[in-house]
Amino acid sequence: MSRGRPGRKAKPGARYKCGKLRPVRDLGNERVAAEAARFGSFHGGKGGQWVRESAIGRAWAVGLLDGFGADAAAIRDAGLGYAARYWGYYPSPNGVSNYEAEDRRGRGWGESQDRGGEIFQRLDKAVRDAGRASYKAVQSLVVDTYWFPDRNPSWLDRLINGRLAASGRTVTGSLPVPGDDETLRLAVEGLLTVVQGRGGRRPTAH
């Protein structure tokens, strides 16, 4: 006697008593929504893309890049562009991407316009010429966080918390400590060399 066709396998997951599957919480979307709500009082709630995608985007969203004698969005974009070119030129110490195992030297952001990385080398020299402290601060803000867009350096976390607290938001982390504003100023000083060109004027105190 032939055997009948087996029934369709039941979908896994928690169920109500009636047998209906319980909806699965989308934690990713919940985190995005929570982050958008956290920064919602800035830029009319329209800074969502920048809030989600980079540490410097979150700095821009709460106004930390304002008041340095240059357009805050230009400083933000300079940081993002510099970091992308950095990781296009230095994907790893031997020039091979840790993620895709392919040689990507000089093939990062603006690849068709920067073959060989000449543009990046000029930008990098300009940032280095701002001084060791500025170069280190730029690395902390945009380079070290490039592959981890949801993370901030600790000093930036505190500065953002300060801005959120000042806007009436409840914060759970630490507030700014002495030296955090100076680290931000140094990072912006380095990025202004990209915005304004080598030899651009130094930013005033924030």
Q: Would you say 39 and 51 are in contact if contact means Cβ atoms under 8 Å apart?
A: yes
Q: What is the number of other CB atoms lying within 10 angstroms of the CB of residue 91?
A: 21
Question: Measuring CA to CA, how many Å separate 198 from each of 124, 129, 189, 193?
Answer: 10, 8, 11, 5
Q: Would you say 88 and 107 are in contact if contact means Cβ atoms under 8 Å apart?
A: yes
Cα 77 → chain centroid: 11
Q: Would you say 149 and 174 are in contact if contact means Cβ atoms under 8 Å apart?
A: no
Q: Would you say 145 and 128 are in contact if contact means Cβ atoms under 8 Å apart?
A: no
Q: What is the pLDDT of residues 38-79, one digit of tens each?
A: 776 666 656 667 788 899 999 999 999 999 999 999 999 999
Identify the CA nearest to 204 among candidates 63, 68, 76, 65. 68
Distance, CA of 35 to CA of 51 (rounded, Å)? 7
Tell me the two tokens of residue 165: 């607290």
Position 110 confidence tier, pLDDT thresholds 50, 70, 90: very low
Q: Would you say 22 and 14 are in contact if contact means Cβ atoms under 8 Å apart?
A: yes
pLDDT of residue 179: 97
Domain ranges (residues) in the chain: 27-196
Q: What is the pLDDT of residues 138-172, one digit of tens each?
A: 999 999 999 998 899 999 999 999 999 998 888 88
Q: Would you say 49 and 57 are in contact if contact means Cβ atoms under 8 Å apart?
A: yes
Q: Would you say 190 and 138 are in contact if contact means Cβ atoms under 8 Å apart?
A: yes
Question: Measuring CA to CA, how many Å separate 197 from each of 125, 130, 132, 193, 200?
Answer: 11, 11, 18, 5, 6
Distance, CA of 79 to CA of 46 (rounded, Å)? 20
pLDDT of residue 206: 46
Residue written as token pair 């930008």: 123
Beta bridge partners of 96: 103
Q: Is the pLDDT of residue 196 over 60?
A: yes
